[in-house]
């Protein structure tokens, strides 16, 4: 194997490893209520991720139209790829924002995001 071939092989291997790591971050697949949805007051908020997350370091908060935190009670999620919580009281009509943080078990990286929904 020539020096050029070895360098090329190492570069290809490094690129493959790097792309594999980049794909290992937890991403939000879906939510209930869904982003931009208009719903009646939800009893539960569910976030579903694309991979197993570290529950201890993954969470979300809910804020109302004024940016005030809404009291939530954590719930046992149905699987290791999701987070569930329920508002401690009925949500009044208005715009709500979910801000989430998820830590992947694959690489320990933290990802964050947010979305809004409206209660009618």
In this predicted model, what pLDDT tens digit does every residue of 92-118 receive, in sequence order? 999 999 999 999 998 889 999 999 999
Whole domain around residue 69: which residue ranges?
Answer: 25-119
**Kind of pairing, strands 45-49 and 82-87?**
antiparallel
In this predicted model, what pLDDT tens digit does every residue of 15-55 receive, in sequence order? 444 444 445 689 999 999 999 999 999 999 999 999 999 99
The three-class DSSP label of residue 114 is strand
Q: What is the pLDDT of residue 24?
A: 67
What's the structural domain count of the chain?
1
On whether residue 1 sits in a domain, the answer given is no
CATH number at residue 105: 2.60.40.1220
On whether residue 17 sits in a domain, the answer given is no
Q: What is the pLDDT of residue 17?
A: 45
- Tell me the Cα Rg of the chain: 19
Higher pLDDT pick, 23 / 12: 23
**Kind of pairing, strands 72-75 and 38-39?**
unpaired
On whether residue 64 sits in a domain, the answer given is yes
On whether residue 19 sits in a domain, the answer given is no
CA 120 to centroid of chain Cα atoms? 25
On whether residue 42 sits in a domain, the answer given is yes
Q: What is the pLDDT of residue 13?
A: 41
Instruction: Give the C-alpha separation, 73 to 78, whole Å.
Output: 15
Instruction: Give the C-alpha separation, 23 to 104, whole Å.
Output: 11
On whether residue 32 sits in a domain, the answer given is yes
């Amino acid at each position: 194997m020539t020096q050029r071939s070895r360098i090329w092989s190492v570069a290809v291997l490094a690129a493959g490893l790097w792309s594999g790591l980049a794909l290992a971050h937890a991403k939000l697949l879906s939510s209930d209520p869904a982003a931009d949805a208009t719903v009646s007051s939800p009893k539960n908020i569910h976030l579903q991720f694309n991979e197993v997350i570290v529950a201890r370091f993954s969470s979300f908060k809910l804020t109302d139209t004024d940016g005030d935190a809404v009291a939530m009670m954590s719930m046992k999620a149905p699987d290791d790829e999701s987070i569930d919580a329920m508002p401690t009281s009925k949500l009044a009509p208005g715009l709500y924002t979910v801000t989430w943080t998820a830590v992947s078990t694959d690489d320990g990286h933290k990802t964050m995001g947010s979305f809004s929904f409206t209660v009618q």
